Amino acid sequence: MIEFLKMIRGTGYEVILMGVSAAFFAQVLKFIIFTIKAKKINFKIFSTTGGMPSSHSAGVVGLSTTVGLLSGFDSIIFAVAASYALVTMYDAAGIRRNAGKTAACLNRMMEDFYKHDTSLMGERLKELLGHTPLEVIAGAFFGIIYTMYIHQWLIGL
């Protein structure tokens, strides 16, 4: 395993690994935070969107931070990666969050409309789609800190 990590150090594989693993560990952190807050275990958290911290933000910021560390923060490829990260984070906090609010409103309307027989209502729309700005920022900070730490660890191998 150590030989594999030495082999990917400083390559595009490190970039991919950092982006994917930052998102994965942000999702694990989200599960831990949910479990502590709710005082119950819900494994569905691993496959849901929304919540603290944003794993999307952690992943794209982890990816772009690694690109900056390897290619330079003044490189064109870092500018592309950072732009990709900003669009993804804007989408998470803006468009997807508003879609979740719309779903919540529609669910309430359907409950009111079918209050006499909720079995006719059908399946509820998913409401937790996006993130608050704080969740996005927390995910971005997690992505930066995680990536910097793991990158330094890889250098030391």
102 domain residue, yes or no: no
- pLDDT tens, N- to C-terminus, the chain (157 residues): 889 889 999 999 999 999 999 999 999 999 998 899 888 888 877 777 777 899 999 999 999 999 999 999 999 999 999 999 999 998 877 776 666 677 777 777 777 777 766 666 667 766 556 678 888 999 999 999 999 999 999 998 8
Is residue 60 assigned to a domain?
yes
Residue 73 in domain: yes
Query: How far is it, in rounded angstroms, from Cα 142 to Cα 148?
Result: 10
- For residue 127, what pLDDT is reported? 59
Find tokens 């608050």 and name the residue.
132
Instruction: Return the SS3 of 53.
Output: coil
Main-chain dihedrals φ then ψ at residue 65, nearest 5 degrees: -65, -40
- Domain count of the fold of the chain: 1
pLDDT value of position 47: 76
Q: CA–CA separation, 134 vs 143, rounded Å?
A: 14
Count CA atoms within 13 Å of residue 120 on its CB side: 7
Q: Is residue 124 part of a domain?
A: no
> What is the pLDDT, as a whole number, of residue 129?
60
CB 83, CB 68: distance < 8 Å: no
Does the residue 109 lie in any domain? Answer: no
Residue 148 resides in a domain = yes
Number of helices (H) and strands (E), helices first, in the chain? 6, 0
Burial 77-101 (b: 16+ CB within 10 A, else e): ebeebbeebeebbeebbeebbeebe
Whole-model pTM: value is: 0.79
**Domain limits at 21?**
2-94+130-156
Per-residue model confidence (pLDDT) at position 2: 87
Distances (CA, A) of 111 to 99, 105, 122: 18, 10, 10
